[in-house]
């Protein structure tokens, strides 16, 4: 695929973000206008949350303050309600060939680098969080204030049974159901869906871009009728560096800018009552890299499409597509944003598709295909410091989840991984292909939520 001129994409991104900002702030003045009881009921909760987040909320009762279980767990401090939530997660997996990182997978190792099966037992994906809810702002009719702080234990650790704490979320928001302001660390605006896989990273570096970062975000929902509405999101976000040891990234004077437009239609027209949603999103930023004594400012950008199609009450389809460059910052490019030999950015494209089928009220199965494909001519020495790089990564995953009761879930997943590797020979200044990494992973999960 020929290189696309940056200025053309920069103009596209700037236009998208400009339109997003204009739409939001042109409608914010209506936020305080009283609503009819019917409209207030129709707006309900935010439907812009990802299907993955909704999937997790089903098990962890993230908004349990509205349920009997939540009331038993919550406590009050003045007019503030504090509700703990989370789950205890146990994962046991066997891999026919070794992967990175073992307890969870982002790509398969080449047998030229490391070979042999592996067995892993991991409780570090267990999660603990707190929802903190209080009244909204005086004068803003129908508003509510909320704070969230959430951790898991996949941070740096000394040994496999000495987990390190990892901050996942820490944000405050004020919302009236149509307009929302958020400040803190939450999931990124771009590519909001997540495949329903048991793997901890949920397809990071194999098709699913986007992670959590600190940001200042505003959202606005504009209703055209009871079944059709437009969601506009805009955010100014922190720099996040994911490149490896061969380069030294640093912040620049320009922040990451993110925006998304999503059109939802058909709400209430189908038996399941859910809308079909088509979204487009983009991010643009700048990062500073040091290559030896050479310092360069390089752009990072992406263009993304997300599609959520609830076909029936039991059957659903979701997919995402991404295209961009210097994408390690958003979990793309198979963990490669820049190439140390070329001293320039790596372009990549990919995505994922998932078919969800609910066999019974308690049993659900998911079929997923995921791919991350950097442009071959952009990947020479990679960014790992040892001249190793990856130019292709895909995964096929099938799982079954059984909900024994409201708290206890067990799941079994089989995933097939394939990763293409290469090494740059400094003597001959040529790229040498390595044996393809192939691994089949069998994973069993027990999750107890509260």
350: left (phi over 0), alpha (psi -120 to 50) or beta: left
Task: Report residue 72's pLDDT band, with 50, 70 and 90 as the boundaries.
Answer: low
Report for 47-56, 122-131, 291-300: range of highest mean pLDDT = 122-131
pLDDT 10s digits, 392-419: 999 999 999 999 999 999 999 999 999 9
Q: Residue 35: CB partners within 8 Å, gap ≥ 6?
A: 43, 141, 142
What pLDDT sits at residue 148? 98
What pLDDT sits at residue 251? 78
CA distances from 347 to 36, 43, 65, 245, 356 (A): 49, 40, 44, 19, 31
Q: Tell me if 97 sits within 8 A of 105, measured CB to CB.
A: no
Residue 397: CB atoms within 10 Å: 26
User: Where is pLDDT greater, at 166 or 227?
Assistant: 166
pLDDT exceeds cutoff 80 at 429 = yes
Average pLDDT over residues 415-431: 96
- Quote the CA–CA distance of 339 and 319 in Å, as a whole number: 29
What pLDDT sits at residue 23? 52
What pLDDT sits at residue 302? 98
Q: Helical H runs in 352-398? A: none
What pLDDT sits at residue 290? 84
Task: Report residue 225's pLDDT band, with 50, 70 and 90 as the boundaries.
Answer: confident
- Quote the CA–CA distance of 229 and 231 in Å, as a whole number: 7
Average pLDDT over residues 30-38: 37
pLDDT exceeds cutoff 70 at 52 = no
What pLDDT sits at residue 269? 75
pLDDT 10s digits, 301-325: 999 999 999 999 999 999 999 999 9
């Amino acid at each position: 695929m020929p290189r696309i001129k940056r200025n053309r994409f920069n103009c596209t991104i700037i236009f998208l973000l400009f339109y997003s900002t204009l739409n939001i702030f042109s409608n914010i003045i209506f936020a305080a206008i009283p609503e009819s009881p019917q409209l207030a009921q129709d707006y309900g909760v935010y439907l812009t949350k990802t299907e993955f987040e909704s999937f997790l909320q089903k098990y962890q009762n993230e908004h349990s303050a509205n349920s009997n279980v939540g009331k038993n767990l919550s406590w009050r401090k003045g007019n503030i309600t504090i509700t703990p939530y989370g789950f205890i997660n146990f994962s046991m997996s066997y891999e026919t060939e070794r992967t990175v990182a073992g307890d969870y997978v982002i790509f398969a190792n080449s047998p030229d680098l490391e070979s042999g099966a592996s067995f892993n037992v991991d409780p570090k994906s267990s999660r603990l969080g707190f929802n903190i809810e209080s009244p909204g702002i005086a004068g803003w009719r129908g508003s509510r204030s909320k704070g969230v702080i959430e951790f898991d234990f996949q941070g740096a650790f000394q040994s496999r049974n000495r987990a390190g704490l990892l901050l996942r979320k820490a944000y405050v928001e004020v919302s009236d159901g149509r307009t929302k302001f958020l400040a803190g660390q939450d999931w990124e605006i771009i590519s909001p869906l997540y495949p329903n896989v048991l793997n901890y990273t949920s397809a990071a570096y194999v098709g699913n871009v986007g992670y959590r970062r600190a940001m200042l975000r505003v959202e606005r929902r504009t209703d055209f009728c009871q079944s059709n509405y437009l969601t506009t999101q805009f955010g100014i976000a922190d720099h996040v560096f994911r490149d490896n040891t061969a380069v030294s990234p640093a912040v620049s004077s320009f922040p990451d800018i993110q925006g998304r437009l999503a059109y939802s239609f058909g709400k209430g027209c189908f038996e399941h009552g859910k809308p079909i949603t088509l979204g487009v999103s983009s991010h643009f930023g700048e990062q500073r890299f040091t290559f030896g004594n050479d310092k360069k400012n390089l752009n990072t950008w992406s263009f993304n499409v997300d599609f959520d199609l609830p076909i029936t009450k039991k059957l659903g389809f979701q997919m995402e597509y991404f295209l961009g460059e210097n994408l390690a910052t958003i979990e793309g490019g198979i963990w490669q944003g820049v190439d140390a030999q070329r001293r320039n950015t790596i372009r990549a494209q990919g995505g994922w598709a998932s078919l969800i089928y609910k066999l019974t009220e308690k049993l659900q199965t998911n079929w997923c295909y995921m791919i991350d494909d950097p442009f071959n001519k952009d990947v020479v020495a990679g960014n790992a410091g040892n001249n190793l790089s990856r130019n292709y990564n895909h995964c096929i995953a099938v799982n079954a989840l059984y909900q024994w009761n409201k708290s206890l879930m067990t799941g079994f997943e089989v995933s097939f991984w394939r990763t293409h590797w290469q090494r740059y020979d400094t003597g001959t200044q040529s790229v040498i292909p390595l044996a393809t990494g192939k691994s089949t992973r069998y994973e069993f999960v027990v999750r107890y939520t509260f």
